[in-house]
Amino acid sequence: MGAGHDGKMMDFAGELHEELSGIRRDLHQHPELLYDVFRTSKLVTDLLESWGIEVRRNVGRHFGMGVVGTLHGTAGSGPTLLLRADMDALPIREENDVSYRSKHEGVMHACGHDAHTAMLLGAARTLAHYRHRVRGTIRFVFQPAEEGALPSPLDGRLLSGGRDMIEDGVLEHADQCYAHHGCRSCLSVRLACIPVMPWRHQAILEYISMESRGITVPLIWLRMPSKWQPGT
């Protein structure tokens, strides 16, 4: 993809600011805990489908609350990239005096997962719009239960949403995985891989910086290798 196309894509993404801000604030008003992300997952599914992205619902062998969108680029063959965001909130009472304050007493998006979900939706819409410039496949993974774990209804093991989706094959045939975590206090965005404990020793840490609106923002990338070797 040439520089001119990159510029057009970034312009398109920038034009989504108000829409994505609205999505983030809607999610902030309706936080959901752990695997109880029924409203959030439906919103994600509806939006992905409206942009022509193939959607797999109820992902997760034990709880089945994850969402995976798959975009097949039409510019030719290429790798499969996985982009992941988390959807769940925290059991915290919100005290912020804002118009989009949580409507659920004792539950709040205090860790930014509303923003993570909105940002990945923005990436999905942008890349879907430019699918004619995409080589390969992009998998958009929306994970429940990042903030904790619950006993599996099948075998009693404590499972986070990442593990539940992994056991349902979400990582199969993925060449690289990326996730991110906003950090408002340090004006940075940290990017890391979906939690995959068996492969943690194979990750590659990269540190770069990005300048946006006059602010230099450090980025930390945790990139997983192309060859998955579960259990090693």
How crowded is residue 175: how many other Cβ atoms within 10 Å of its Cβ? 16
Considering 32, 88, 94, 168, which one is annotated as catalytic?
88
Catalytic status, residue 211: no
Question: CA-to-CA distance for 99 and 157, rounded, in angstroms?
Answer: 40
DSSP H stretches of helix in the chain: 3-14, 17-29, 38-50, 113-129, 161-166
User: Which residue do the tokens 């991110």 mark?
Assistant: 180
158 membership: H or E segment, kind and range: strand 158-159
For residues 139 and 55, what is the distance between their CA atoms, to the nearest angstrom?
Answer: 10
Residue from 86, 146, 164, 168 carrying the catalytic annotation? 146
Bridge partners of 206, per DSSP, are 221
Is 49 tagged catalytic?
no
Amino acid (one-letter) located at 198: P
> In this structure, are residues 123 and 129 in contact, taking their beta carbons and an 8 Å threshold?
no
Instruction: Of 147, 159, 161, 23, give the one whose Cα is nearest residue 90.
Output: 147
Catalytic residues: 88, 146
